[in-house]
Structure 1
Amino acid sequence: MRILHTMLRVTDLEKSISFYTDLLGMRLLRRKDYPGGKFTLAFLGYGEESEQTVLELTHNWDVSAYEIGNAYGHIAVGVDDVYKACDLIKSKGGKVIRDAGPMKNGTTILAFVEDPDGYKIELLEDNR
């Protein structure tokens, strides 16, 4: 067994795809409209779905806003250098909500950015 994807509902699919591809470096893997259900699904990731967990963006055509709720935490993305990643995201107009630096009461370097719908994305140095 493995985790296949995480799904987020988004209000502006093009803006969200741009955020995840242009600012976080993911690739759009596939996209499909479902006219009967009035929604579009877009799958993005850093590798093929057959080998890696991906992100599913769901755009319901008739919905203009969502409440994220208080149970959602964040999605974590591994990067080579959190400081450089934040600088790049800021230079492309992205919203960094917690600048790069050590975590509170720890030494792990992290930062948080926010996608166009307000979802929190944690950037962590990927030292595997």
Structure 2
Amino acid sequence: MQYKLVHTCLRVRDLEASLKFYTEGLGLKETRRKCFPEHDFDLVFLSDEAGHFEIELTYNYDREEPYEVGNGYSHLAMTVDDLEASRERHEEMGYPVTKLMGLPGSPPRYYFVTDPDGYDVEVIRAQPEA
């Protein structure tokens, strides 16, 4: 038996703000959308160019209160070729970003950016292909 990761679901309060973050901020593309107005929710799926994994944004209509991210959730992770330019761009877009960081004894190779609902995304310097 073989398992394959297919998506992670994030519940979002403002679908348009979340779509802007994931498409404009992180370069993901909407792959499909399922709307269920009779049940008061929409599902929007986003993926990168490879398309092997998706983020599912679940938008429940008329949600007033923010979702609680919880203390067990940590983050999603993505790679990028130009880490410094990416961080600067996210900062210019007004998203909360951390400083560039590295594991103890290592040079900086990642930072975190926070989406409109408080979910953290780790952006990691892509390793050159061998």
Structure-2-length-normalised TM-score: 0.88
Structure 1 segment 50-69 matched on structure 2, within 5 A: 52-64=52-64, 65-69=66-70
* Percentage of pairs with the same residue: 38
Structure 1 segment 1-128 matched on structure 2, within 5 A: 1-47=3-49, 49=51, 52-64=52-64, 65-96=66-97, 98-107=98-107, 109-127=109-127, 128=129
Could you list the runs of 5+ residues in structure 2 that have no partner in the other structure? none
Q: CA deviation at 1:102?
A: 2.3
Describe the superposition over 1:83-117 as per-residue Cα deviations: whole angstroms up to 9, x where unpaired.
11101111222221x12232344335110000000
| Bigger strand share | 1
Amino acid at match of 1:113: V
Q: CA deviation at 1:19?
A: 0.4
Asked if the contact 2:100–2:108 (Cα under 8 Å) also holds between the matched residues in 1, the reply is no
Q: CA deviation at 1:58?
A: 0.2
Partners of 1:73 and 1:19 in 2: CA distance: 18
Amino acid at match of 2:78: V
Could you list the runs of 5+ residues in structure 1 that have no partner in the other structure? none
Partners of 1:34 and 1:95 in 2: CA distance: 32
Corresponding residue SS for 1:17: helix
Corresponding residue SS for 2:111: strand
Partners of 2:37 and 2:50 in 1: CA distance: 26
Structure-1-length-normalised TM-score: 0.89
Partners of 1:126 and 1:118 in 2: CA distance: 24
Q: How many residues align?
A: 125
Corresponding residue SS for 1:85: helix
